[in-house]
Amino acid sequence: MQRLFSTFADGSPGGGILLIRLVAGGALIYRGIAAISAEAHTGLPVLQIVGAAAGLLILGGLWTPLAGALAGIVEVWIGLSQPGIHSSTFILATLGISLAMIGPGAWSIDARLYGRKQLLPPEP
């Protein structure tokens, strides 16, 4: 993960990335739950469930490049396969792909697992 991102943004940029992750992850999870609970499966519920799984990963900031790319691909697929789909599908695709390129930020599981560690000398 360190090879993908030189640093994990913190401060105001990290807060902005966290906000994007919360909105995108929450919307993807909501759409997945709505697809499961819908009585008439008009769309592609399997794709929306995969999108919801990617949303869970995005929400926590785990494997963000993979989850963002997966969310982007799934949302574009849903948008192109269903006529008259709402623009929210392409907005979610854009957010997912953007997160895949930007990275998860400092407040994420990725940063805790793969971020730079400061090594302290042993105490005497």
Looking at the predicted structure, is the pLDDT value of residue 116 above 80?
no
Mind listing the pLDDT tens digit for each residue in 53-111? 999 999 998 999 999 999 999 999 988 887 776 788 899 999 999 999 988 888 888 88
Show the 3-state SS of the chain.
CCCCCCCCCCHHHHHHHHHHHHHHHHHHHHHHHHHHHCCCCCCCHHHHHHHHHHHHHHHHCCCHHHHHHHHHHHHHHHHHHCCCCCCHHHHHHHHHHHHHHHCCCCCCHHHHHHCCCCCCCCCC
pLDDT of residue 15: 86
pLDDT of residue 13: 84
pLDDT of residue 55: 94
pLDDT averaged over the chain? 83
